[in-house]
Amino acid sequence: MSRPATDSKRFIRALKGETLTPPPFWLMRQAGRYLPEYRATRTDAGGFLDLCYNPPLAVEVTLQPLRRYGMDAAILFSDILVVPDAIGQPVSFKVGEGPCLTPLADDAAVDALDPSRLKDHLKPVFETVSGLAGAIPETTALIGFCGAPWTVATYMVEGGGSKDYARTKEWAYGHPQRFQRLIDTLVEASAEYLCLQIEHGAEAVQIFDSWAGVLPEEEFRRWVIDPIRRITERVKDRYPGVPVIGFPRQAGLMYLPFARETGVDAVSLDTMIPLDWAAETLQPLLTVQGNLDPIALLVGGDHLDHAVDHILKTLGKGPFVFNLGHGIVPPTPPENVARLADRIRGWKG
């Protein structure tokens, strides 16, 4: 039996501007620690990156949430930090501490990064993408992804997570030429990475700029909008029909220039974006995705139902993909995710 064309999948149709009732849905971090079967596979795999680089296990954890909840899209199981790992800045994940890298020290460290290593180093990830393309249900779309240059750069300059991104801002404001070289390297590596995922079967891609919201306007244009515009342009040059979703988390009013200027097909909304503003200002321009508070999903019950209905009523009248405003948190009860999936699928408009 041949698989249906990508364009007939509900998730892809919504990204291309159709209004669908009920809307298609998937959830950021839908594969992850809230699922007991994920925790079991994770224990078998060894470290977190070992899981990302193990195609059969990465395919398995990508499929786990689909088996339970039948989302309209599967997101490749990997991490945004495989890109620095691939281009010459090794990454490790310490249990309970998150990612750990040796911080970039100077110009020489930036010059030593080498995007030409990416294709070889990330072979297991592309093998996972190919495996998934043949394994997901036929109406489900496969999402590839990367981190946006700004967000990935914060990990590379800080050496891990950060509260205020002070060192990265010092680089960006105080050494803009050096920082530009780092961003340019990440534009090149990320565009290549997304294109290779598409070549292996990804049908849409999402660019995660999780820490976009910490920059002032001028710097937001330079370090968020411009690099994402260049990545989108390169992907569209080679794969014009593949939708690109941008997620400039906590960008506030800057969502509007982001939507107008990056060339993305859809924006993923964080939890704080007012729904009426998004419906009136963003949705006439492009598809929106979002934006349930992950803590509403953790809490469940009436609060969850009310929050879900409010989003469906406000954004469901235009091109829309239901999602969270950020990733699922590990203590979320799996039955709340089932309640959410039923509520969305039961929506009649």
92-121 footprint of ligand 1CP as x/- string (CB under 6 A): -x----xx----------------------
- Residue 155 appears among annotated catalytic residues: yes
Per DSSP (E only), the strands in 78-140 are 91-94, 98-101
Helix, strand, coil shares, percent, the chain, to 5: 55, 15, 35
Q: Which residues in the 281-320 window bind ligand 1CP by CB under 6 A? A: none
Q: Cα separation of 9 and 72, whole Å?
A: 8
Q: Per the residue annotation, which of 13, 34, 69, 79 is the catalytic one?
A: 79
What would you measure as the largest C-alpha separation in the chain, in angstroms? 58
Q: Is-contact 86 101, C-beta < 8 A?
A: no
Helix (H, G, I), strand (E, B) or coil at 273: coil
- If the CB atoms of residues 62 and 283 are measured against ligand 1CP, the closer one turns out to be 62
* Catalytic status, residue 79: yes
Task: Look up 10 and say whether it is catalytic.
Answer: no
Q: Provide CB contacts within 8 A for 126, sequence distance 6+.
A: 196, 197, 199, 200
Compare residues 9 and 42 and give the one whose CB is closer to ligand 1CP. 42
Question: What does the DSSP 8-state code read for residue 223?
Answer: I
Contact by Cβ (8 Å): 12, 243: yes
Cβ-based nearer residue to ligand 1CP, 87 or 279 = 87
Active-site pick, 34, 69, 155, 255: 155
> Strands, E, within the chain: which ranges?
73-75, 91-94, 98-101, 141-147, 204-209, 244-248, 266-268, 287-292, 320-324
Bridging pattern class, strands 141-147 and 98-101: unpaired
Nearer to ligand 1CP, 298 or 305 (CB): 298
Nearer Cβ to ligand 1CP, position 176 or 213? 213
Binding mask 29-68 for ligand 1CP (x = CB under 6 A): xxxxx--------x-----x--------------------
- 33 included as an active-site residue: yes
Check if 13 is active-site: no
Handedness of CA 30, 234, 150, 224 (dihedral sign): negative
Burial 298-331 (b: 16+ CB within 10 A, else e): bebeeebeebbeebbebbbebbbbbbbbbbbeee
Interface residue with ligand 1CP among 79, 158, 192, 293 (CB under 6 A) is 79
How far is residue 210 from each of residues 98, 238, 337, measured CA to CA in Å? 15, 26, 23
What is the footprint of ligand 1CP within residues 194-213 (CB under 6 A)? 208, 210
- Which residue from 15, 35, 59, 75 is in contact with ligand 1CP, where contact means CB under 6 A? 75
Q: Which residues are annotated as a binding site?
A: 29-33, 79, 155, 210, 326
Question: Exactly one of 10, 13, 34, 42 is catalytic; which is it?
Answer: 42
Least Cα distance to 318 among 12, 15, 27, 9 occurs for: 15
User: Taking the complex as a whole, how short is the minimal distance between the CB of residue 209 and ligand 1CP, in angstroms?
Assistant: 8
Nearest CB to ligand 1CP, comparing residues 28 and 264: 28
The verdict on 334 binding ligand 1CP (CB under 6 A) reads: no
Among 14, 28, 225, 311, binds ligand 1CP (CB under 6 A): 28
Interacting residues with ligand 1CP between 130 and 169 (CB under 6 A):
145, 147, 161
- CB of 38 within 8 A of CB of 61? yes
Among 25, 77, 150, 220, interactor with ligand 1CP by CB under 6 A: 77
Q: How many residues bind ligand 1CP (CB under 6 A)?
A: 22
Could you tell me which of 265, 258, 11 has the C-alpha nearest to residue 142?
Answer: 11
For ligand 1CP, the binding residues (CB under 6 A) are 28-33, 42, 48, 75, 77, 79-81, 93, 98-99, 145, 147, 161, 208, 210, 327
Point out the residues that are catalytic: 29, 33, 42, 79, 155
